[in-house]
Structure 1
Amino acid sequence: MKISSILSSGFVIASALQFVAAYPGSGVALTPRKTSILINPAAQPDLPTAAQAQAAASAASLNLDDIQGDILIGMKKNQELFFFFSITNSTLFKQKLKSDIKVRVTTTTQLLSVSSQPTTALNVAFSQQGLNALGVTDDLGDPLFTAGQEADASVLGDPGTTNWVPSFVGKQIHGVFLLASDTTSNLNSFLSDLNAILQGAIQEVYSLNGAARPGDQQGHEHFGFLDGISQPAVTGFNTPLPGQELVAPGVILVGEDSDPVATRPTWAKDGSFLAFRQLSQKVPEFEKFLTDNPIIEDGLTPAQGSALLGARLVGRWKSGAPVDLAPKFDDPVLAADPTRNNNFTFAHPGQNILNDQTNCPFTAHIRKTKPRADFPTPNPGNHIIRAGIPYGPEVGPAEAASNTTVTERGLAFVAYQSDISNGFHFLQHTWANNVGFFFNKNQTQPGWDPLIGANGGQPRWALGLDQTNFDRNITLENDFIVSRGGEYFFSPSLSALSGALSA
């Protein structure tokens, strides 16, 4: 690594003792951070300290120094830049991947301590087309990854690729760099340095900037709901809070315990499949729908009835409090307590879980995608680590007044799993888009997930949203979330970056 490259990215040379934590093996020392590049809303589960994670990893034989940082960190980034690229010179790219790029890729361990975080964190992942461009012909054992997301579009509920960003169509994208920091200038400076290092070995296809929302909306998505509360804990990384599901590492990481695919290339171990989706959110239209369809009940004002409908549609109030524990009014104190806000199952004494939706509808987003006690036995396999971030500006006064979206905003959705068909694809297709799920209820077809359920752009419906009348059919004429496309990637280990992928 050249000193000039380090300086051009705005980094400052520091003591020789600091460089190992900053960029292992680079031989270059960097000024340590004083503030974290991650956000940490009170309601979201805390990340473990570096010492806690290393102790857990040692017991489970996980190597957190070989696992890219974004995979296990989840929805904690302050600002993020997704830089999608095609490889134009594979020989040069592999040379740079083995040296300059690999030493800049941020590990899980590095992100867990402010003192070891770089100015800008870097992760990288490749599509099947990207692996082909690198001459990697091994079958990774995931047919959805091999085929690419475009082939999966209609199955996911998209109306083909009609609304997709053109760059996601036609298998143009070979890889994505994920850059995370706390300022736009840091991201831009690092990207400039990255392009200089690669010397024309890649070409930009598309880029998308994301950022945590401002002020008290940090950690909330654009509809206003606090996000990231229900992430699973991973054995060998973090200890579960009350109500938090503990999953085996192989559910998220390839080649680890409980990986559902028996045969993988050796070099793929500790990588993870990244499902990326750009999801546009129609915020003014969503708010208008809630205003027009309040739950009418004694003791509720129209505004409270609208807020209750939104909470039952999502399964949580905007504060993050679950409706299963706060069924009629928001409870911000409950919401802010991570030992309580995820500690529920949808089952209640005296209620029949087969027909009673008093506390939470069968179709609520968080119930459709994480059924809990709706399963008679625990569900160990269908889990993902979500690592997305909002993109686009806040709703302006003119948009709010007209109830019409003018400027696109939404969620840069990122999900990690060891098998896409068991993870993101399953949650979207088999649960969210399945009108008959959850099964064995008195309502044989409760309807779509009203938030992310998709029906090819056609109207959808959901029962159970109105707690005064579970059989009230609420029709959703338009999608509040519109897929703008995406791709499936593989995020390899650091050893793979300097090994099989750059050979």
Structure 2
Amino acid sequence: MTLELQDIQGTVLNNRPMPYFGSYVAFRINDAGSARTMLERLIPHITSAADWARPRENAWINIAFTWEGLRRLGVREEILDGFPIEFRQGMAARSAFLGDVGRSAPEAWDFPHGNNGFHVGLMVMASTHEGRDEKLAMGRRALEGLAGVELAARLDVGVPPTLREHFGFADGISRPFIEGQGGEPLPGQALTKAGEFLLGYENELGQLATGPGPEAFWRNGTYIAIRKIHQDVAAFRNFLRMSAADSAGQEKVAAKMMGRWRSGCPLALSPDADNPALVADAQRNNDFAYFEDDRIGRKTPVGCHIRRVNPRDGLQDTMAEARLHRLLRRGAAYGPMLPEDAVEDDGHDRGIVLALINANPGRQFEFVQSQWVNDGDFVSEGRRTDPILGRRDRADDFAYPDKPIRRRLAGLPDFTATRGGEHVFLPGIGGLRWLAGMQAGDP
């Protein structure tokens, strides 16, 4: 089985260049005809998975829709009603279930969602500022003379030259290998059925992942959970300083919370000291498991971030099946870096935008967010949540095995806060053509 790469939007399968410059641009649809005209103009420039490795300008552009955006575009009601409830309701309506409460509640969001102005979004990436700006200019040209589509928001993102996110961790090391994508998986890279990430293919349940309406609309499409997450870098640094007497101790605490040293070196392979050289070796840097080697988390704590969002084989003695909840994760930083020696916040907004690709928003993204990030029962951690991203209204401590005794870190502050979120549908390129050619009342 091979994937139809020429019909799949490129961001689904392909890693972004490192470093890169990008933008998330949200638009509001006020007129269906204008929106279809814009889409018709953009389709020839959309980057497919086949195009990704050989772009003309080292720049890429993809497009996605909220449920409300598809409604405003003119998709018939019986098709709209066939979408998953998570996509139909939108992420803001599901905030309590997802743990977006308190300072993360939708009332505090500064990026629009499907019910207040986010109907269609462009994802632009490039290896240079100039390449990004040219793709953005292409989007502006597609809107010329179309009063029925208006700009709602723009957020510039990217990966800094350090290849580190704002808390100082290397990012983008681990990802699943999708059946049919071509090539061979790296050691430790989980082989996953294509239907976990793309409609039109078999998933891990042995079922064909499908969508509503005609196959021409949904085939090779997928869903993306977009999350804008503010990072309180000063709070994170100060917590590390309060938790350890020296820099080596602070690095250890950070590594225990994440599950990797800040270089990206996994605790599973180097639990006592960082080993940056290991990170550069793609044959080694992700080649580890938990069940036989580290079941109770002496090396990689069971409640740390990477073990929560990707338990690997660590759940073999429970009813949970990690293979049913895998996500393809794309992360990009926004906002200026806080100077390395700063311990006070400078007032600038900074954080990360997560694009979490999944073919089933309920059992993939929403399950991981509600059950693994914001609840500890699945690893016998009670109400403890993710020490990096988790909510703090249920528990605010983190514990891990240490020498000579188990260590408990109490009083974790909110290191992060949700500032935007939405489930979007990313059609295949054939699906985009179907949308552009659709007229009101089309079968």
State the TM-score, normalized to the length of structure 1.
0.79
**Match in the other structure for 1:386:** 329
AA aligned to 2:342 is A
Q: In 2, are the aligned partners of 1:358 and 1:467 still within 8 Å (CA)? A: no
Question: How far did 1:291 drift?
Answer: 1.3
Counterparts of 1:202 and 1:390, CA distance in 2? 27
Q: In 1, are the aligned partners of 2:186 and 2:283 still within 8 Å (CA)? A: yes
**Match in the other structure for 1:213:** 160
**Match in the other structure for 1:54:** none
Question: How far did 1:459 drift?
Answer: 5.4
Identity of aligned residues (%): 27
AA aligned to 1:96 is M
**Match in the other structure for 2:366:** 425
**Match in the other structure for 1:165:** 110
AA aligned to 2:270 is A
Question: How far did 1:317 drift?
Answer: 0.5
**Match in the other structure for 2:441:** none
Counterparts of 1:322 and 1:477, CA distance in 2? 23
AA aligned to 2:167 is F
Closer, same or farther: CA 166–251 of 1 in aligned 2, 3 Å:
closer
**Match in the other structure for 2:389:** 452
Counterparts of 1:253 and 1:241, CA distance in 2? 21
**Match in the other structure for 1:190:** 135
Counterparts of 1:166 and 1:322, CA distance in 2? 33
AA aligned to 1:479 is D
- Tell me, yes or no, if structure 1 residue 125 matches structure 2 residue 69: no
Number of residue equivalences: 420
Counterparts of 1:466 and 1:280, CA distance in 2? 31
**Match in the other structure for 2:376:** 435
Counterparts of 1:358 and 1:494, CA distance in 2? 47
**Match in the other structure for 2:275:** 331
AA aligned to 2:35 is F
SS of the aligned residue for 1:228 comes to coil
Closer, same or farther: CA 256–448 of 1 in aligned 2, 3 Å:
same
The gaps in structure 1 that reach 5 residues or longer are 1-59, 295-300
**Match in the other structure for 1:463:** 399
- Tell me, yes or no, if structure 1 residue 322 matches structure 2 residue 266: yes
Q: In 1, are the aligned partners of 2:392 and 2:413 still within 8 Å (CA)? A: no
AA aligned to 1:185 is E
**Match in the other structure for 1:478:** 413
**Match in the other structure for 2:85:** 143
SS of the aligned residue for 2:387 comes to coil
Question: How far did 1:448 drift?
Answer: 1.2
Q: In 2, are the aligned partners of 1:141 and 1:261 still within 8 Å (CA)? A: no
SS of the aligned residue for 1:450 comes to coil
Counterparts of 2:402 and 2:384, CA distance in 1? 13
Closer, same or farther: CA 76–189 of 1 in aligned 2, 3 Å:
closer
**Match in the other structure for 1:487:** 422
Counterparts of 2:58 and 2:264, CA distance in 1? 31
User: Per-residue CA shift, 1:457-498, capped at 9, x if unaligned?
Assistant: x7522221645433x332244211111021110000111111
Write out aligned runs for 1:81-160 (5 A). 81-98=23-40, 100-113=41-54, 116-137=55-76, 138-139=79-80, 140-159=82-101, 160=105
Alpha-carbon RMSD across the aligned residues, in angstroms, is: 2.2
User: Per-residue CA shift, 1:373-409, capped at 9, x if unaligned?
Assistant: 3222863221111122111111136xx4343252111
**Match in the other structure for 1:67:** 8
SS of the aligned residue for 2:142 comes to helix
SS of the aligned residue for 2:61 comes to strand
Counterparts of 2:411 and 2:267, CA distance in 1? 21
Q: In 1, are the aligned partners of 2:65 and 2:425 still within 8 Å (CA)? A: yes
Question: How far did 1:162 drift?
Answer: 3.6
Counterparts of 1:75 and 1:447, CA distance in 2? 33
Q: In 1, are the aligned partners of 2:333 and 2:350 still within 8 Å (CA)? A: yes
* Residue from 150, 168, 174 that aligns with 2:119: 174
Question: How far did 1:188 drift?
Answer: 2.8
AA aligned to 2:140 is N
User: Per-residue CA shift, 1:20-62, capped at 9, x if unaligned?
Assistant: xxxxxxxxxxxxxxxxxxxxxxxxxxxxxxxxxxxxxxxx142
Question: How far did 1:449 drift?
Answer: 1.1
Counterparts of 2:411 and 2:436, CA distance in 1? 46
Counterparts of 2:272 and 2:130, CA distance in 1? 44
Closer, same or farther: CA 500–166 of 1 in aligned 2, 3 Å:
closer
SS of the aligned residue for 1:190 comes to helix
Question: How far did 1:166 drift?
Answer: 5.6
Closer, same or farther: CA 97–171 of 1 in aligned 2, 3 Å:
same
- Tell me, yes or no, if structure 1 residue 415 matches structure 2 residue 356: yes
Closer, same or farther: CA 413–198 of 1 in aligned 2, 3 Å:
same
SS of the aligned residue for 2:13 comes to helix
Question: How far did 1:302 drift?
Answer: 2.1
Write out aligned runs for 1:358-397 (5 A). 358-376=298-316, 379-396=322-339
Closer, same or farther: CA 106–261 of 1 in aligned 2, 3 Å:
closer
Counterparts of 1:477 and 1:305, CA distance in 2? 17
Moved more, 480-489 or 67-76: 67-76
AA aligned to 1:449 is D
AA aligned to 1:127 is T
Counterparts of 1:87 and 1:417, CA distance in 2? 25
SS of the aligned residue for 1:167 comes to coil
Closer, same or farther: CA 247–117 of 1 in aligned 2, 3 Å:
farther
AA aligned to 2:301 is P
AA aligned to 2:399 is L
Counterparts of 2:25 and 2:48, CA distance in 1? 19
Moved more, 135-144 or 334-343: 135-144
